[in-house]
Amino acid sequence: MKNRKLGSLNVSEIGFGTMSFASAYGTAPSDGEAIRVIRGAFDNGVTFFDTAETYGPFTNEILVGKALAPVRHEVVIASKFGWNIDLETGQRHAGLNSRPDHIKRATERMLTRLNIETIDLLYQHRVDPSVPIEDVAGAVKDLIDEGKVRHFGLSEAAAGTIRRAHSVQVVTAVQNEYSIWTRESELEILPLCEELGIGFVSWSPLGAGFLTGKIDASTSFETTDFRVNSPRFSAQARDDNQAIVNLLGSIAARKQASPAQIALAWLLCQKPWIVPIPGTRRLDRVVENLGAADVVLTAEDLQEMAETVSKIVVTGARLPEAILQLSNR
């Protein structure tokens, strides 16, 4: 697989998001199966793996650390801080916590859970309005100076916040939800990243599975699956949004590809510094997703997609309101 640059950081052009091995999508698979899939992703060329302290909490980082231990020096590991989690018990409390002292203590525990000496890319998961972003960037700068972190990232941050953070500590990557049906980042964030030389990591590049074409209005989810409470996954929204899946399916049929591959190939065509991190619990799906790198979308294909998508009104907010309010700060 080819590499791409997130700022000065070299990563595979398609990464792997590991959140699905927590319980966000219902009952998680066994650790053994999860490790098999994560290592399988590496064996198929992935060198960029994404986790976070809140996935579990904590259990996902431990899992990723175990899975990647034998190949630690061949991969880039990203994790995230920022939620108000008791660092001893893992108990979640309301709100966010990006106080500098908390960031530093949280990072020490991340290093232990991941069983590594340095976190390659450390993101603030959501912007904490009670802590100046300059203080957050300064805390991460200290961690970089101490050799505990290599690169700084921000997730779901507003353009002005990114610029202010970047003035204190270089922001290597911004991670936002971005796909052919979630394109708000095109308004301000992508232009800013291009201006400042910041890489962009696309989370949920397959629309939490919807863009694969394997979910429709009749699909049922486990009660613990976050999509049960997601406005965009109501039965009506899934029915209304089928038009975008139909578009991907029609292009896929012409290219002898899958809808998922077309959705990822579209992302790869947007900018050379965009890296999607699809997640899946199945190794065959990993292999399928990575096949997107070999799909060639012509200028005519991209124009057709742009014109068709411009006529489609996506139904449903991308996240529940309470979580959505924590974005774009």
DSSP state of 25: B
Q: Using CA atoms, how far apart are residues 52 and 319, in angstroms rounded to an integer?
A: 18
Quote the tokens at residue 121. 């890319």
To the query of whether residue 178 is one of the catalytic residues in this protein, the response is no
List % helix, strand, coil for the chain (3-state, nearest 5): 45, 20, 35
Cα dist. 123→30, 40, 176, 179, 312 in Å? 27, 25, 11, 20, 33
Contact in structure between 279 and 18 (CB atoms under 8 Å): yes
Query: Beta 83-85 vs 92-96: how paired, if at all?
Result: antiparallel
DSSP state of 9: E
Here the contacts of 307-313 (C-beta below 8 Å, separation 24 or greater) are 308/247, 309/180, 309/181, 309/244, 309/247, 312/241, 312/243, 312/244, 312/247
- Residue 166 CB partners (closer than 8 Å, separation 6+): 137, 196, 198
DSSP state of 13: S
Give the torsion sign (CA, 234, 235, 240, 241).
Answer: positive
Cα dist. 241→16, 137, 181 in Å? 25, 39, 9
Which positions are annotated as active-site residues? 55
